[in-house]
Amino acid sequence: MLDKAFDPRTAEPRLYAAWEKSGAFAPGGEGAPFTIVIPPPNVTGSLHMGHALNNTLQDVLCRFERMRGRSVLWQPGMDHAGIATQMVVEREMAKRQEPKRTEIGREKFLEKVWAWKAESGGAIIAQLKRLGASCDWSRTRFTMDEGLSAAVNKVFVALYREGLIYRDKRLVNWDPKLVTAISDLEVENTEVSGHFWHFKYPLENGESYQFPTAHDENGEPTAWETRDYISIATTRPETMLGDGAVAVHPSDKRYAPIVGKRCLLPLADRYIPIITDDYPDPDFGSGAVKITGAHDFNDYKVAIKHDIDLFILMDERARMLDAKYIPAKYRGLDRFEARKQIVADIDERGLLIKVEDKKIMQPFGDRSGVVIEPMLTDQWYADAEKLSLKAIAAVETGKTRFVPENWTKTYYQWMRNIEPWCVSRQLWWGHQIPAWYGPDGHYFVAETEEEAIREAIIRYTAEGYTVEEIDAMMRGEGEGPLLVRDEDVLDTWFSSALWPFSTLGWPEGDSSFPSPSGRGARGEGPAGEAAVLRPQTGDPLPWPLPHRGRGEDSASLLHNHYPTSVLVTAHDIIFFWVARMMMMGTHFMKDVPFRDVYIHALVLDEKGQKMSKSKGNVIDPLVLIDKYGADALRFTLAAMAAQGRNIRLSEARVEGYRNFGTKLWNAARFCEMNGCVFDPAFDPQSARETLNQWIIHEAGKAAGEATAALEAYRFNDAAGAIYKFTWNVFCDWHVELTKPILMGADGLAKAETQKATAFVLTQIMKLLHPFMPFVTEELWRGTAERDGALIVSSWPTAPEFSPAEKAADEINWMIGLITAIRSTRAEMNIPASAKIPMLVIAAAPATAARIDAHKELIARLARLEPVSVAPSSPKGAVQIVHEGSVYALPLIGVIDIAAETARLGKEIEKCAREIEAIDKKMSNASFVEKAPPEIVDENRERRIAFAERREKLAAALAQLSSA
RNA sequence: GGGCGCGUAGCUCAGCGGUAGAGCACUACGUUCACACCGUAGGGGUCGCAGGUUCGAACCCUGCCGCGCCCACCA
């Protein structure tokens, strides 16, 4: 017996544990592999709406394809999230008043991070399970586990040897709070209100020139003033101490007299040249730009081009440096303090022309929220431009496809303008760069320290060191050890870029690469999360355990599942992740990492704003799951996941779909109460009853729509098709229409209807399972003895449903008739409880036959008693025209003649309007001529139908008024 | 400055060339033993505005008005 209602709170964890234990999540189908790698959530992460949507869609696809018999691998894992994790642990340490990271040292700190991970990291995995995600958790990977770390090393070394990774000194985005370089993508440019300071830089030797102050309409100067300075403007006065030149545009006549001369850099008391370059815009500011090569990306380019001196002004925390070229009074000041002081000092010297308020774009670190400082440092770079070529070509040639397609444009735009990727970070938590420095500053890039040492020995031997000298250095005598490892770690996205193949065992499974020394590619980190992730229960399985899992080793795993089938992600990560995976995949695997990239919406709040903690508008998916169940949340997200649109989530919607689950549950209870038990021997093709043929036909239509929609990633359409069929066809009509049969005496018809109904209910469970896995699985077991779990059952396919157009037409006609009668009853204010007689007026033989066949049902559902036949309508009866036939409700004396007259009049008018519209079309010669014939025919037919209807209505009206 | 997208029922959104749709909310009525997390019936839209293409436009094109997002070095 099914319970009165489905209780997600108790059922969901139980069902999930059973699935997991049965091995259903492991690849095992006989069909072609279907593979998705999860966008690895941060170890520090907890489930938010974005995750909920992202993983719901992946799970829908996985469950769908699994049921279609494919060998589904949904590869799960987590990202070590360098900066985020390091920040979390440091914060924890601060809270406990423990010594700082820098005090305890790298090794101790990393131990703490691993300990933190073991204890509180990865909470999101349990949350994904609550959502119902059918990942193969036995294969959970972590970007810092041994196998993935080996892959990272291998890739770094390989790229280095190919010249695609190099060390370089150039301007980087420096985060002075986190004290690390970050990539362009981690910088958020935000408009803030700032100031525009105009300074005078006096000319050398008191020189002066005539500067035009007024112009005529032709732009010719009409007035001049004598200037002994050049006017520059800046939004960052503190950087002036590092100016190496002032630049003007070569065409700017105003400054022509002083080009090539020098001006005094105030405060710094240096002279700098006035040069020309195309970069300054004569119409902006004063037209003259100070060139601060070491603290501005534009200036840097100009400085390099003209070989202008670069002055590094700040230390790693953006405090003014203790340097000769910086006046003593500014040294050690924070950059913003220095700014104030410098402006004050310039002003004091009478060199401040004016200060304007101005909106300026300012770069902020996306994690620290602090103003980013361009800094000249040594960093490791990947040659993104070279790596992008194959990645771009792969999309151009269609080897990888974006869905929706318009995201390809975004991808191209970024890829085609790509800058070198700064991959080093001055952090501790991450993959330490496999580079070792010798005492002479030369570095050796190698996968292991031993290898680096070997290379070093070769090099230093060649340079003429004796074996003894090298040996002495090796033992760390004198200056210290021969080689010192680079302290930096790699950008977190570096390891993420390898995710689609590193998680599948690369480089082990790739014969073109030698295996990394010793280690298994499936190694776990020190935390041993395997024990945490696997269920501990010893409960017997509620269903027989199917044989699943091919026992793939890493070689066949990589071979079978790469390229992966589809990547499901949000657009905000195309650059960070998708692009980088494309680069690394095409380079190392010689094939794209995924065939399709499905870009889904962002989940916003009801007002369309991004959810954020600071705004306090976060809807917690776990709260919704608690309240409505995971199924309801999943269905809502899928139903709203229309392509190319953001999702504004409202709780009412979730509630509505929770109700849908309950509706299905109750339909199943109805079936149970009426002996509709699934019979595997039932052949839907064999159904004889019109009703059964009809519902099987309709179920087939819904299945077809759902399948086509899922194949095209139209999740909302698939959800919609299933919803409508389940509620508006199966529950609203089939259940009602079968009641007399099911509740009647035994018979062949009853037996068939029971089986057909159970069959269709089973199909619904299957179709709905990817969206609502929990209720459907519970019903699957609760409604019949079955061989296996629903999760590993088969997806409905066309041959299971016999098309039955004729039966469908007949039942749909009946539904229309019943609806029309009900509608009229309501309009006439006939009490729902009242049973009234109905006369079928002079029906055509076909209609008469249909009436005859379904008289009881029509009577029951439209509350009629009796239904009989008459040659004409009695006077004063309410008359209904439906598909060319007239039905009369003889309620003489009961009905309001005036109201009925009005009703008929309104309907006639409606017909007239339609006819008029069609006539207008048809009388247009070019319509008949140019429109497709089927459209023209359709209009002709509609015109006939409406005309007939109008005629019948008119006759009814005439009869009424003659009464 | 470039790119992408959105303005359709009170709200949240589908539809994207041939008869305007869903969920929620709303109104009326509820006889029935699957379900009140329900049933039946209903109200509600000149599909942002203006042009154009077309036999035909919510849908295609152009412009405008509002809104959002992404990229970009105007010091």
Is the Cβ–Cβ distance between A918 and A946 less than 8 Å? yes
Contacts of A181 (CB under 8 A, 6+ apart): A172, A173, A174, A175, A375, A377, A379, A422, A424, A425, A426
Instruction: State CA A18 to chain mean position distance.
Output: 29
> Straight-line distance from CA A645 to C1' B69, in Å?
11
**Could you tell me how many residues make up chain A?**
963
- Considering all nucleic acid strands, name the nucleotide whose C1' atom is nearest to the C-alpha of residue A662: B37
Strand partners, A435: A445
- Considering all nucleic acid strands, name the nucleotide whose C1' atom is nearest to the C-alpha of residue A650: B12
Helix axes A49-67, A690-711, angle to 10 degrees: 120
Residue nearest to nucleotide B6 (CA to C1'): A645
Structure-derived torsion over alpha carbons of residues A919, A924, A930, A933, reported in degrees to the nearest 10 = 20
Torsions phi, psi of A464, nearest 5?
105, 5
Is the Cβ–Cβ distance between A493 and A585 less than 8 Å? no
Where residue A759 falls among pLDDT bands split at 50, 70, 90?
A: very high
Residue A535 burial by Cβ neighbours in a 10 Å radius (0-12, 13-18, 19+): middle
Is the per-residue pLDDT at A593 higher than 60? yes
**HSE-up (13 A, CA, CB side) for residue A70:** 18
Residue nearest to nucleotide B22 (CA to C1'): A720
CA separation for the pair A678, A761 (Å, rounded): 9
Is the Cβ–Cβ distance between A58 and A36 less than 8 Å? yes
At A354, which helix (H) or strand (E)? Answer: strand A352-365
Residue A533's pLDDT is: 30
> Straight-line distance from CA A131 to C1' B4, in Å?
31
Residue A477's pLDDT is: 57
Where residue A515 falls among pLDDT bands split at 50, 70, 90?
A: very low
Residue A601's pLDDT is: 83
For chain A, give percent helix, strand, coil, nearest 5: 50, 20, 35
Where residue A752 falls among pLDDT bands split at 50, 70, 90?
A: very high
Residue with tokens 């009490």: A831
- Considering all nucleic acid strands, name the nucleotide whose C1' atom is nearest to the C-alpha of residue A234: B75
> Straight-line distance from CA A735 to C1' B38, in Å?
14
Where residue A121 falls among pLDDT bands split at 50, 70, 90?
A: confident
- Give the mean pLDDT of A451-473: 83
- Give the mean pLDDT of A331-355: 93
Residue nearest to nucleotide B2 (CA to C1'): A413
Tokens in use for A711?
A: 């194949």
For strand B, the positions having any atom within 7 A of a protein Cβ are 2-6, 11-15, 18-19, 22-25, 28-31, 33-35, 37-42, 54-56, 67-75
Higher model confidence: residue A529 or residue A862?
A862
- Considering all nucleic acid strands, name the nucleotide whose C1' atom is nearest to the C-alpha of residue A602: B69
- The complex's ipTM works out to 0.93
Is the per-residue pLDDT at A529 higher than 60? no
A596-629 pLDDT, tens digit each: 999 988 877 666 666 766 666 677 889 999 999 9
- Considering all nucleic acid strands, name the nucleotide whose C1' atom is nearest to the C-alpha of residue A235: B75
pTM tops 0.80, yes or no: yes
A20-34, A442-456, A775-789, A888-902: least confident range? A888-902
